[in-house]
Amino acid sequence: MQFQDYLRILRRQLVIILAGAVIGVSVGALIAMLTPQRYQATTEVMVTVQLGETASPTERALATSYANQVVQTYRDVVTSSIVLDRVIDDLGLDVDRAELAAAADASAQLNSAILSIRVSDTNPGQAARIANGIAESFSAVVSDTLELREQETSYTIHIVTLQAAQVPTTPVAPNTQLMLVVGGLVGLAVGLAVALLRSLLDQRVRTDADVQAALPVPLLGRIPLDPDTADRPLAVSSVPQSARAEAYRSLRTNVRFLFEDGRGVFVVTSSGPGEGKSTTAANLALAFADAGHRVALIDADLRLPRVADYFGIEGGIGLSDVLAGRVRLNDVVQRWGRSSLFLLPAGSLPPNPAELL
């Protein structure tokens, strides 16, 4: 498929594509409304080094380097059982350690001694209490367990709270704007996929390319749709400067080159009634006559004849009467004005047109 084909699909299936986007946005809004609000509280602690008065410059450098390195390890300690079990006991929380670990998170930037402890909860006050409780429990675990040494050293590690968690006022979830955008994009993608699938499964002939792909024959012409066709069917004579009249003249030129000697007989037909057989044949005959060709137009539609009405001639006697042997051909063929166009109307409608033909 070419780029123009995709653009044609977009124009043809625009309603489905827009409907998919609207449905996606609606689903995103529904999910946002049904998702419980969650609040996040954050406390920041710092791993500090307390040096002795007798510490040498080398020991001071080693202690500072150790503090920066141990921060990454302590990040995982924050959500460990040794810290969270104390928080559950101290605050009397009705959750297990796994649930609390899923709600808590700790992070530290590279080469930084500061740890950020975040806790999310549906209750903003509870989120702040748990965040501060984790910071206190973590500080106690580091001082009483992890950094407790049997022999004295020139430095000790302490956890200092830089900023205690405050009760949040704005929820962090659900992110309504993000859900609407994601829902709209997903719905738009689904709409595009459905539109493309419908176009691939659609076997109807709609364009010139569809005709050429379906039939191994050349395309002779294309007549534009004109709402005035019913009022002015003979566009070549009534509105000769119109696009429809020019299309018939272009069709005449292409048909002309199908016959090497300049003479030929051909049939204009279609698969069903009301599809423009009589209109096309009449205008094509006029176009040939205007070009100086001697043309005979025969109305062989013995069920719904239109040629006599289009040209304003007597159509009571015609082809059916000639086929039945009631009249001679030369007696019913009518010349249209002073042109080189001769008309043979359908004549009286027989009860069995197929058998008569």
pLDDT tens string 230-284: 888 999 988 889 999 999 999 999 888 888 776 888 899 988 888 889 999 999 9
Provide the pLDDT confidence category of residue 202 given band limits of 50, 70 and 90. Answer: confident
Compute the distance between CA of residue 343 and CA of residue 293 in angstroms, rounded to an integer: 14
Q: With 0-12 CB in 10 A as exposed, 13-18 as middle and 19+ as buried, what is 126?
A: middle
What is residue 72's predicted lDDT score, i.e. its pLDDT?
80
* Distance (Å, whole) CA 12 – CA 31: 31
Cα gap 303→315, rounded to integer Å: 13
The proportion of the chain whose per-residue pLDDT surpasses 90, expressed as a percent, equals 38
DSSP designation for 340: S
pTM of the entire predicted model: 0.53
Give residue 114's pLDDT band: very low, low, confident or very high (50, 70, 90).
confident
Residue 338's pLDDT is 85
- The DSSP secondary structure of 257-326, one letter per residue, reads TT-TTS--------SSTTSSHHHHHHHHHHHHHHTT--EEEE---SSS--HHHHHT---SSSHHHHHTTS
What is the per-residue pLDDT for 234?
92
Calculate mean pLDDT across residues 288-311.
92
pLDDT at 347 over 60: yes
pLDDT at 256: 87
From 127-131, 201-205, 291-295, the region with the lowest mean pLDDT: 201-205
At 154, is the pLDDT very low, low, confident or very high (cuts 50, 70, 90)? low
Local confidence band at 41 (pLDDT 50, 70, 90 cut-offs): very high
203 phi and psi, to 5 degrees? -100, 5
Q: Is the pLDDT of residue 155 over 70?
A: no
Whole-Å CA distances, 58 to 64, 155, 156: 10, 12, 15
Mean pLDDT of the chain: 87
Burial class (CB in 10 A: 0-12, 13-18, 19+), 260: exposed
Predicted local confidence at residue 153, as pLDDT? 59
Q: What pLDDT sits at residue 335?
A: 93
Has residue 55 got a pLDDT over 70?
A: no
Residue 260 is predicted with a pLDDT of 75
Strand partners, 278: none
Q: How confident is the model at residue 229 (pLDDT cuts 50, 70, 90)?
A: confident
Q: What is the mean pLDDT of residues 310-314?
A: 91
Tokens 């096309």 correspond to 280
Quote the pLDDT of residue 188: 93
Whether the Cβ atoms of residue 232 and residue 286 lie closer than 8 Å to each other: no
Confidence of residue 152 (pLDDT cuts 50, 70, 90): low
| DSSP states along 135-194 | HHHHHHHIIIIIT--SS--SEEEEEEEEEPPPPPSS--B--HHHHHHHHHHHHHHHHHHH
151 pLDDT above the threshold of 60: no
| Rounded Cα gap, residues 202 and 43, in angstroms | 60
CA-CA distance, 62 to 70, in Å (whole number)? 12
Beta strand 334-335 with 155-163 is: unpaired
pLDDT at 303 > cutoff 80: yes
Give the Cα separation of 233 and 212 in Å (integer).
27
Burial class (CB in 10 A: 0-12, 13-18, 19+), 142: buried
pLDDT at 39: 92
Q: Is the pLDDT of residue 12 over 90?
A: no
pLDDT band at 127 (very low <50, low <70, confident <90, very high): very high
Q: Is the dihedral of CA 63, 65, 67, 73 positive or negative?
A: negative
Q: Distance (Å, rounded) from C-alpha 148 to C-alpha 56? A: 21
